[in-house]
């Protein structure tokens, strides 16, 4: 099994946890400033209930954390397929690192500046990396 491609996936997992702590570290103080007592929150409350309650700049970190739980799940599956198929080297490994680096830049951008035009370009670039990796994973498993 070609395990080198698992390193970018591990880095993205770690980055996702860093974003979780960044989100919590900004969100809880912002909630406290509103005077909201979380122990009295109604059952079933969700993070989206905080839209318009706490500053947008604080919610951006939560939005990004949510994004890191979406498309990257396809990345993780693709990386595992490529590793098992012994195709996690060369172009696929470079694409995996490119995907992770672009997603980290995307996270920092969304959490701080959040101009959608540039964020969209980052998303498209990372998606292209993932798309090529997915095609290569299909190729590696069928042929």
> Exposed/middle/buried for 94, CB within 10 Å: 0-12, 13-18, 19+?
middle
Give dist(CA 106, CA 12) in Å, integer: 12
DSSP 89: S
Q: Is the model's pLDDT at 35 over the cut of 90?
A: no
Give dist(CA 113, CA 52) in Å, integer: 18
Q: Is the model's pLDDT at 25 over the cut of 80?
A: yes
Compute the average pLDDT of residues 19-43.
88
Q: Which domains does the chain have, with CATH numbers?
A: 3-42+53-142 (1.20.120.550)
- Mean residue pLDDT of the chain comes to 94
SS3 51: strand
E strands in the chain: none
């Amino acid at each position: 099994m070609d395990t080198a491609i698992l390193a970018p996936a591990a880095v993205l997992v770690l980055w996702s946890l860093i974003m979780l702590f960044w989100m919590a570290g900004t969100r809880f103080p912002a909630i406290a400033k509103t005077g909201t007592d979380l122990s009295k929150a109604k059952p079933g409350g969700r993070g989206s209930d905080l839209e318009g309650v706490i500053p947008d700049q604080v919610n951006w970190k939560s939005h990004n954390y949510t994004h890191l739980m979406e498309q990257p799940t396809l990345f993780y599956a693709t990386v595992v397929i490529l590793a098992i198929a012994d195709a996690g080297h060369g172009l696929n490994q470079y694409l995996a690192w490119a995907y992770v680096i672009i997603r980290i830049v995307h996270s920092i951008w969304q959490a701080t500046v959040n101009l959608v035009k540039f964020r969209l370009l980052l998303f498209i670039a990372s998606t292209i990396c993932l798309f090529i990796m997915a095609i290569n994973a299909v190729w590696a498993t069928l042929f």
